[in-house]
Copies of this chain bind each other. A is one copy, B any other.
């Protein structure tokens, strides 16, 4: 189960938290201290659900480290993945401010740490501190825009182009490396790009035959970055 590692006794360490540079840069040390006292830091291990769609929104959550997937389950029981994201994208927060319940589920693809602050407190701070608000708007906009953009990029490509795109996405945006361990199953890639898992696998095999990638289970090595980019562009 999720492990709450709240640390009320230790002196506040939010002041030096690297995340502070992000949305919380404009908060005074006092306000940071206030947040620090009430915040909860929660660890989730790989595979754990952080929240489900329909759950009431009580916390403003963001990812401190790890990797998560945002997804929903369709009426016929299939998973549709909205995005896979790293810190410090504020996950799951597109609707935090205008709805009562989460629209999407969130689960950990790798061991992850989430920092949660009561949403009322964030609201208060927005009202009290305009600079903080402006900062937050910026971050929320970027997060939303990334999700929208991912959707458009996927939609305009065919199967091979979509696979090439997500491989480049994981390589470039997530792992910053030509070689990496896929954090998701073939099925989950299928759920992300709205294709069947059989065809995802088939395309992997084709890329392997063409010397574009090497695969060993979930380990992927991109051998021909150039060709992958061409497929992604023209797909």
Contact = CB atoms under 8 A, between A and B. Distances in A.
Interface in A68-109: 72, 74-76, 78, 80, 82, 94-98, 103
A147 interface: yes
A78 B151 CA distance: 17
Nearest to A154: B155
Contact of A155 (B98, B139, B155, B233): B155
Given A126-B130, A141-B144, 8 more contacts: A72-B152, A94-B144, A94-B145, A97-B141, A123-B134, A127-B130, A127-B133, A155-B155
A129 B127 CA distance: 7
What number of copies of this chain does the assembly contain?
2
A197 interface: no
Q: Can you list the 5 inter-chain pairs with the closest CB atoms, starting with the nearest?
A: A133-B133, A127-B130, A144-B144, A151-B151, A155-B194
Which of A94, A139, A194: most chain B CB closer than 10 A? A94
A13 to B, nearest CB: 27
A136 interface: yes
A95 B134 CA distance: 13
A159 B194 CA distance: 14
Interface string A157-189: 000000000000000000000000000000000
Contacts of A136: 137
A138 B75 contact: no
B134 A75 contact: no
A78 to B, nearest CB: 8
Interface in A184-235: 194, 233-234
A194 to B, nearest CB: 5
